[in-house]
């Protein structure tokens, strides 16, 4: 049988219970990876693990909680002693107009999106070696202005910056860091949003040069490219998966 791109590679995906995270976990597993996912909801986590199959493992936890991440990596260290790929995907999107931003909104979004990404990566590093790949979950919102999304957008701009600085921090270790920034994607959350907001889907399709929203699998393919040897000379980059929305 032909070898798969990620045979026996240990892949960590935070926020892997639905949407882009789940689609990516399935894609890695289908290419031979040993997949570990996290999620806060135990029922959804168990359902996702069953959907992924291929021996995937779920570790319940919140990326904004350092102890939960310690448990994740302790489990992986005991099972395999290494991490080959980290996809720091866990995140939350909340909206608030500038004059209504309060501490709970600001802290929740920054704790999960920014602090959670920092510690997801930092705590993986002792298990990573040369050839490892880190992919961060950005967003087109980090480059565009959207009403009431200033805090969320700022977190994604921070993540874009992390890819640049961590590329320098990790260059001597041979670990690459890049960002995948989706645009508007037909995740379960997006489908709910479109059902509740008449006209939103038509506006999105009109704003995206490709005339449609992305499928989660299309984002997963971009993550796998940046995680694989096919992108061996790509570092500190942001790959937009948005149908041309930001560029055009």
- Catalytic positions, written as ranges: 152
Q: Is residue 126 classed exposed, middle or buried when 0-12, 13-18 and 19+ CB atoms within 10 A define those classes?
A: exposed
Find out whether 212 and 186 touch, Cβ atoms under 8 Å. no
Quickly list DSSP for 114-145.
IIHHHHHHHHHGGG--TT-EEEEE--GGGTS-
C-alpha to C-alpha distance for 243 and 248, rounded to whole angstroms:
9
C-alpha to C-alpha distance for 142 and 168, rounded to whole angstroms:
21
Tokens of 57: 């493992």
Cβ of 50: how many Cβ atoms within 10 Å? 10
Alpha helices in the chain (DSSP H): 19-30, 42-52, 66-79, 103-110, 116-124, 150-169, 188-196, 200-207, 216-227
Q: Identify the three-state secondary structure at position 35.
A: strand
Cβ of 60: how many Cβ atoms within 10 Å? 17
């Amino acid at each position: 049988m032909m070898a798969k791109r990620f045979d026996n590679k240990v892949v960590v995906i935070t926020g892997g219970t639905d949407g882009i995270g789940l689609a990516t976990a399935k894609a890695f597993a289908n290419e031979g990876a040993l997949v570990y996912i996290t999620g806060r909801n135990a029922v959804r986590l168990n359902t996702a693990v069953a959907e992924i199959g291929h021996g995937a493992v779920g570790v319940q936890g919140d990326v904004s909680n350092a102890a939960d991440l310690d448990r994740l990596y302790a489990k992986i260290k005991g099972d395999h002693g290494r991490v080959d790929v980290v996809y720091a995907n866990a995140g939350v999107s909340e909206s608030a107009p500038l004059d209504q931003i309060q501490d709970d909104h600001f802290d929740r979004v920054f704790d999960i999106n920014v602090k959670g990404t920092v510690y997801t990566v930092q705590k993986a590093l002792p298990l990573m070696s040369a050839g490892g790949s880190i992919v961060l979950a950005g967003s087109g919102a980090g480059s565009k202005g959207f009403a009431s999304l200033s805090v969320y957008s700022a977190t994604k701009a921070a993540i874009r910056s992390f890819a640049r600085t961590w590329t320098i921090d990790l260059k001597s270790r041979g670990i690459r860091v890049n960002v995948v920034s989706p645009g508007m994607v037909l995740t379960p959350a997006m489908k709910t949003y479109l059902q509740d907001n008449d006209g939103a889907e038509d506006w999105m399709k009109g704003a995206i040069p490709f005339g449609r929203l992305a499928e989660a699998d299309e984002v997963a393919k971009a993550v796998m490219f940046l995680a694989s040897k096919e992108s061996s000379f790509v570092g500190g980059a942001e790959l937009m998966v948005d149908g041309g929305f930001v560029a055009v």
